Amino acid sequence: MQVSRDMDAPKGLDAAQHEVHHGPASGLMRWVTTTNHKDIGSLYLWFSFLMFLTGGSMAMVIRAELFQPGLQLVEPQFFNQMTTVHGLVMVFGAVMPAFVGLANWMIPMMIGAPDMALPRMNNWSFWILPFAFAILLSSLFMEGGGPAFGWTFYAPLSTTYSGNSTALFVFSIHIMGISSIMGAINVIVTIFNLRAPGMTWMKLPLFVWTWLITAFLLIAVMPVLAGAVTMVLTDKYFGTDFFNAVGGGDPVMFQHIFWFFGHPEVYIMILPSFGIISAILPTFARKRLFGYASMVYATASIAGLSFVVWAHHMFTTGMPLFGELFFMYCTMLIAVPTGVKVFNWVATLWRGSISFEVPMLFALAFVVLFTIGGFSGLMLAITPADFQYHDTYFVVAHFHYVLVTGAIFSIMAAAYYWLPKWTGHMFDEGLAKLHFWCSLVSVNVLFFPMHFLGLAGMPRRIPDYALQFADLNKIVSIGGFAFGLSQLIFLWVVIKCIKGGTPAPAKPWEGAEGLEWEVPSPAPYHTFETPPEIKP
Amino acid sequence: MSSRRHQALGAWAVLAWCWPFTALADGYNMTRGVTDFSQRVYGLHMTIFWICCAIGAVVFGLLFYSLIRHRKSRGAKAANFHESTRVEILWTLIPFVILIAMAVPATKALVAGDDDGSGPADITVQVTGSQWKWHYQYLGTDVGFYSLLATLPDQITNRLDKGDNYLLEVDRPLVLPTDRNIRFVITSEDVIHSWWVPAFAVKKDAVPGFINQVQARIKEPGLYRGQCAELCGKDHGFMPIVVIAKTPAAFDDWLSAEQARLAAKKAEEQKLLAMNRSLDELMRDGKALYEARCAMCHQPNGEGLPGAIPALKGSAIATGDVHAHIDIVLNGKAGTAMQAFGKQLSLSELAAIITYERNAWGNSTGDAVQAADLHRFLSGDNP
């Protein structure tokens, strides 16, 4: 990709004057009032990491309680609050904001735009998030505790039989949803309108493509979630009977609505990962991505299919045979475009010139471990076998392979990949490698044995278990503590990198391609005031 | 890297890949079960598992081959290819064919195991879930009972040693015949539960307001355990299922003995209606019953769980009008976890519990509630 532009000469203003008018404000107000995509990107990323640690501490409570049979540390009711809030915090507080942060930072730079298209809305879509999570987390301190009905909050447990924190739960979900929709609108408008001249659709970096498709998914399904939580609210407080069988409602309808949101949601949490991995593997294999066009089509097909598979979460609710067959076939079909993506990645590496910098290590771990998560997903799609797997630790293992060694590993890879661009310094490679190897080993000790626990018959979301599950639970808990502690190394690496280190060149990775590597490191506060022109 | 370190790494990698398989052999795999359907499901599970392993071996094999052979440090120069329509079509079609190969046996198993309720059933058991116990009713007979966790609270809180079947034991197991078609009709009284016995490959949600059906034919007598598999509130982890499968003849004997026992119990209940028991006797029986049935929620000290479960100690219900107290214990409170115990316990048991609640933890009302009081309440004969 050729860029014809003189980066050092702002047009019409001299450099000093330019800084006075357009530089960042100083102090705290810079962060409160900022409309700069880079500042907002950093805010999102820091917020996401804070939530990652918060949700992670809750997971540590869960793993500590499950370290051995019997109730040692917490009451079952509090255990349920931990599983519920852990799920909500990780999904809406850690994974989604991390991707939005990456989108904010990178999309304008990758497409040659000066900023996001709607900067003031960008500020709002970030700043309402801390309030949403303050509401959610404060409910844990209410009399009777926070939400304890699982992140899937199946009615009637979440309506008739829930505590009074339900109102806070519903409002916080509403605010998170509004934030996501605003973020998605911003991404779509930016990509549609602010691409540099010459950047045609099929030249868009894959990270931008995957985020564009993700943004459409968000706009399609977040209102469905908002509808579901509103119905929960009115059922509980205003006497409606959407999900109450006694009043003519249908508890299973809740699950249909929830999973119509929930299944596309799991792809919202993985599609941007595909974009990140498709950027990193070619860089460190020093070879172009194999099958760019089929990658775009595969992403779009996965997004499309994600709308017709929701009931595979509901095979045991008493579905008719036709429904079970339909949803089984559709779910199995998703393996095809996902397989295409994995094969393309392997082909990208094939006969490359591969080196193993830290972003590459995380990306490779992603490919292998996400594929393992894909295999267990395929097994879960087989309806008769799902009768045995459903709601056991097999499922817990499956979605943690997809969401932790999938989504979160890709976010780590992205953070290491672009950290020199963000900070202007190279990170400490030794520490970062330590972080990688500790994470890789511990995450497998944490989640791999869960497959066997599930097959042996351990249901999920139980605070105490039968004796035959004791040994594996102990191993899993040790893996959990180790994985949790390993993430503090990451924090250390990032802080160290912000404070200093070897200055990073504009393009710190030999094989990297894309507009973001054409600008100096750290990226200037305003990047492209006149769009770079991309020559065919 | 020296070749010795390579070998050591290789050995570790092989060991790491073998570990899952040794674990499978050690009984950490899905059970084969004791029904035709469960065995089909097991076969399906293993088939797909091996297909996934084979795909994994090929894909990861190629990946690791690249990582080892095509390293920059080994002097590898990157090739220039970046697409091939033929290859891409091929690896869209091949997975498609593999999926069809998986879908055929899965569809067959699903169709064979499907039960729309129209097939012949020799016996029908109604399974009703509630927070947090199962009720079993043998339809067409008057035999029915509740099945509760039998593990002692002191074992759960680590004050007593745990038994072999910790958390997987109940006070009254479900008894079923082998070699007969058993239909389960499954429903719930409050939230969604899920009745799961792995040995039968039966997992069906118990949904309030709905009746789900599932059928099983057990091949071998034995004792089979399961658990609730849907998050149903605080005690979700404490809702085990125990099934005893007997030969048809032994089952018939058990069923008629159970019917005789039930008739005798009814006669006994009538006798108790006429008796007045002392406060001490009621308190003694009431304490044991309270601890088994009520303490899970209201706590052994009667203080409840603030914000979730109301206290009984010093409460308006347990120290005020006795009829309001009887009413709530018999009929429950709609929209809360307080169940209607009128159909779960006998009148004399309920009288003892109510007496205990009115006189324990400093609730010194001095009321000795008798079974006859409850009988009068039920017949609408309130003072």
A95-109 residue pLDDT tens: 999 999 999 999 999
What token pair was written down for A155?
């009615």
Question: How confident is the model at residue A2, as a pLDDT?
Answer: 46
pLDDT in tens, B208-246: 999 999 999 999 999 999 999 999 999 999 999 999 999
Let me know if the fold of B123-152+168-271 is the same as that of B276-379. Answer: no
* Range in A424-438, A459-473, B3-17, B153-167 with the lowest mean pLDDT: B3-17
The answer to whether residue A499 is catalytic is no
Q: Is A392 on the interface with B (CB under 8 A)?
A: yes
- Examine the pLDDT at B24 and tell me if it is beyond 50: yes
C-alpha to C-alpha distances, B272 to B275, B292, B335, B352, nearest whole angstrom:
5, 22, 33, 12
Question: How confident is the model at residue A5, as a pLDDT?
Answer: 46
Interface of A with B in 143-172 (CB under 8 A): 143-145, 148-150, 154, 156-157, 160-161, 163-164
What is the three-class DSSP state of B75?
coil
Cβ pair A318:B204 closer than 8 A: yes
pLDDT in tens, B297-321: 888 888 888 777 888 888 888 888 8
Quote the minimal CA–CA distance from A244 to chain B in Å. 8
User: Residue A376, Cα to own-chain centre: how many angstroms?
Assistant: 20
The answer to whether residue A86 is catalytic is yes
Q: What is the DSSP string of A224-254?
A: HHHHHHHHHHHHHHS---SS-GGGT--HHHH
Cβ pair A143:B63 closer than 8 A: no
Quote the minimal CA–CA distance from B215 to chain A in Å. 12
Label residue A6 by pLDDT band (50, 70, 90): very low
Q: Is A200 on the interface with B (CB under 8 A)?
A: no
Contact between residue A287 and residue A353 where contact means Cβ atoms under 8 Å apart: yes
What is the three-class DSSP state of B242?
strand
Question: How confident is the model at residue A530, as a pLDDT?
Answer: 86
Contacts for A3-9: CB closer than 8 Å, 24+ residues apart: A3/A515, A3/A518, A3/A532, A3/A533, A3/A534, A4/A532, A4/A533, A4/A535, A5/A518, A5/A530, A5/A532, A5/A533, A7/A518, A7/A519, A7/A520
Label residue B7 by pLDDT band (50, 70, 90): low
Contact between residue A77 and residue B234 where contact means Cβ atoms under 8 Å apart: yes
Q: Is B20 on the interface with A (CB under 8 A)?
A: yes
Q: Is B250 on the interface with A (CB under 8 A)?
A: no
> What dihedral angle (degrees, nearest 10) is formed by the CA atoms of B134, B139, B142, B144?
-10
pLDDT in tens, A479-533: 999 999 999 999 999 999 999 999 999 999 999 999 999 999 999 999 888 889 8
Contact between residue A189 and residue A215 where contact means Cβ atoms under 8 Å apart: no
In this structure, which CATH number among 3.40.50.720, 3.90.870.10, 1.10.760.10, 3.90.330.10 belongs to the domain B276-379? 1.10.760.10
Question: How confident is the model at residue B26, as a pLDDT?
Answer: 56
Question: How confident is the model at residue B296, as a pLDDT?
Answer: 80
* Separation between Cα atoms, residue A273 and residue A296, nearest integer Å: 13
* Separation between Cα atoms, residue A347 and residue B87, nearest integer Å: 10
Residue B260 CB partners (closer than 8 Å, separation 6+): none
Question: How confident is the model at residue A4, as a pLDDT?
Answer: 47
Residue B101: count of CB within 10 angstroms of its CB: 12
Contact between residue A161 and residue B233 where contact means Cβ atoms under 8 Å apart: yes
Question: How confident is the model at residue A22, as a pLDDT?
Answer: 62
- Examine the pLDDT at B102 and tell me if it is beyond 80: yes
The burial of A311, by beta-carbon neighbours within 10 Å (0-12 exposed, 13-18 middle, 19 or more buried), is given as buried
Residue B175 CB partners (closer than 8 Å, separation 6+): B243, B244, B246, B251, B254, B255
Interface of A with B in 210-269 (CB under 8 A): 245-246, 250-252
Q: What is the widest separation between alpha-carbon atoms in chain A?
A: 75
The residue-averaged pLDDT of B114-131 equals 84
Q: Is A359 on the interface with B (CB under 8 A)?
A: no
* Separation between Cα atoms, residue B207 and residue B214, nearest integer Å: 14
Q: For A462, which of B24, B103, B237 is closest by C-beta distance?
A: B237
The answer to whether residue A460 is catalytic is yes
Which of A281, A276, A280, A274 shows the shortest CA–CA distance to A295? A274
Quote the minimal CA–CA distance from B303 to chain A in Å. 13
Which of A114, A264, A57 shows the shortest CA–CA distance to A180? A264
Q: For A321, which of B27, B114, B194 is closest by C-beta distance?
A: B114
| CATH number of the domain within which A375 lies | 1.20.210.10
| DSSP label of B129 | E
Please indicate whether residue B271 or residue A197 has the higher confidence score (pLDDT).
Answer: A197
Dihedral pair phi/psi, residue B225, rounded to 5°: -120, 150
Question: How confident is the model at residue A184, as a pLDDT?
Answer: 97
Contacts for B54-58: CB closer than 8 Å, 24+ residues apart: B55/A375, B55/B98, B56/A371, B56/A372, B56/A375
Contacts with B30 from chain A: Cβ below 8 Å: 388, 455
Between helix A37-65 and helix A96-111 the angle, nearest 10°, is 150
Q: For A160, which of B91, B166, B335 is closest by C-beta distance?
A: B335
Question: How confident is the model at residue B15, as a pLDDT?
Answer: 58
Between helix A429-455 and helix B3-25 the angle, nearest 10°, is 20
Which residue, among A455, A460, A461, A476, would best test binding to B if mutated, counting the most B CBs under 10 Å from its CB? A455
Q: What is the DSSP string of B353-366?
A: HHHHHHHSTT----
Cβ pair A80:B191 closer than 8 A: no
- Examine the pLDDT at B6 and tell me if it is beyond 70: no
Question: How confident is the model at residue B12, as a pLDDT?
Answer: 66
Question: How confident is the model at residue B11, as a pLDDT?
Answer: 60
Question: How confident is the model at residue B19, as a pLDDT?
Answer: 57
Contact between residue A37 and residue A115 where contact means Cβ atoms under 8 Å apart: yes
Query: What is the Cα gyration radius of chain B?
Result: 29
* Range in A131-135, A231-235, B2-6 with the lowest mean pLDDT: B2-6
Residue A317 CB partners (closer than 8 Å, separation 6+): A252, A255, B205, B207, B212
pLDDT in tens, B185-208: 999 999 999 999 999 999 999 999
- Total domains in chain A come to 1
Contacts with A321 from chain B: Cβ below 8 Å: 110-111, 114, 116
Quote the minimal CA–CA distance from B144 to chain A in Å. 24
- Examine the pLDDT at B270 and tell me if it is beyond 90: no
In terms of CA atoms, which chain A residue is nearest residue B47?
A379
Instruction: Name residue B179's amino acid.
Output: D
C-alpha to C-alpha distances, B64 to A345, A350, A365, nearest whole angstrom:
12, 10, 11
Residue B257 CB partners (closer than 8 Å, separation 6+): none
pLDDT in tens, B36-51: 999 999 999 999 999 9
Q: Check: CATH 2.60.40.420 for B123-152+168-271? A: yes
* Separation between Cα atoms, residue B157 and residue A67, nearest integer Å: 14
Contacts with B114 from chain A: Cβ below 8 Å: 321
Range of the domain at A130: 35-517
What is the three-class DSSP state of A118?
coil
Contacts with A327 from chain B: Cβ below 8 Å: none
Label residue B9 by pLDDT band (50, 70, 90): low
* Separation between Cα atoms, residue B185 and residue B211, nearest integer Å: 6
Query: What is the Cα gyration radius of chain A?
Result: 23
Question: How confident is the model at residue B21, as a pLDDT?
Answer: 54
The residue-averaged pLDDT of A245-259 equals 95
* Separation between Cα atoms, residue A70 and residue A78, nearest integer Å: 15
Cβ pair B158:A347 closer than 8 A: no
Residue B276: count of CB within 10 angstroms of its CB: 9
Q: Please report how many Cα atoms fall inside a 13 Å half-sphere around the Cα of residue B97, on the Cβ side.
A: 7
Question: How confident is the model at residue B118, as a pLDDT?
Answer: 62
The residue-averaged pLDDT of B3-22 equals 59
Label residue A279 by pLDDT band (50, 70, 90): very high
Cβ pair A385:B66 closer than 8 A: no
Residue A472 lies in a domain: yes
Domain boundaries, chain B: 24-66+86-114, 123-152+168-271, 276-379
* Separation between Cα atoms, residue A319 and residue B210, nearest integer Å: 12
* Separation between Cα atoms, residue A243 and residue A154, nearest integer Å: 10
Cβ pair B232:A332 closer than 8 A: no
In the set A115, A324, A386, A518, the catalytic residue is A115
The residue-averaged pLDDT of A336-360 equals 96
C-alpha to C-alpha distances, B121 to B126, B295, B371, nearest whole angstrom:
13, 39, 40
Which residues pair with residue A113 across a beta bridge? none
| DSSP label of A205 | -
In terms of CA atoms, which chain B residue is nearest residue A337?
B92
pLDDT in tens, B151-175: 998 999 999 999 999 999 999 999 9
pLDDT in tens, A118-137: 999 999 999 999 999 999 99
Residue A5 lies in a domain: no
Q: Is A437 on the interface with B (CB under 8 A)?
A: no
- Examine the pLDDT at A225 and tell me if it is beyond 60: yes
End-to-end Cα, chain B, rounded Å: 93
Cβ pair A455:B28 closer than 8 A: yes
Contact between residue A95 and residue A56 where contact means Cβ atoms under 8 Å apart: no
In the set A151, A240, A286, A533, the catalytic residue is A151
* Separation between Cα atoms, residue A222 and residue A180, nearest integer Å: 8
What is the three-class DSSP state of A503?
strand
Mean pLDDT of chain A: 93
- Examine the pLDDT at A224 and tell me if it is beyond 60: yes
| DSSP label of B225 | E
- Count chain A–chain B contacts defined by CB atoms under 8 A: 295
Tokens 């915090």 locate to A89
Sheet of strand B193-197: strand arrangement: B174-177, B240-246, B222-228, B193-197, B202-206
Which of A442, A269, A260 shows the shortest CA–CA distance to A365? A442
pTM of the model: 0.90
Contacts with A328 from chain B: Cβ below 8 Å: 103, 106-107, 110
Quote the minimal CA–CA distance from A405 to chain B in Å. 16
The residue-averaged pLDDT of B48-75 equals 95
Mean pLDDT of chain B: 88
Label residue A9 by pLDDT band (50, 70, 90): very low
* Separation between Cα atoms, residue A185 and residue A222, nearest integer Å: 12
Q: Is B60 on the interface with A (CB under 8 A)?
A: yes
Contact between residue A137 and residue A85 where contact means Cβ atoms under 8 Å apart: yes
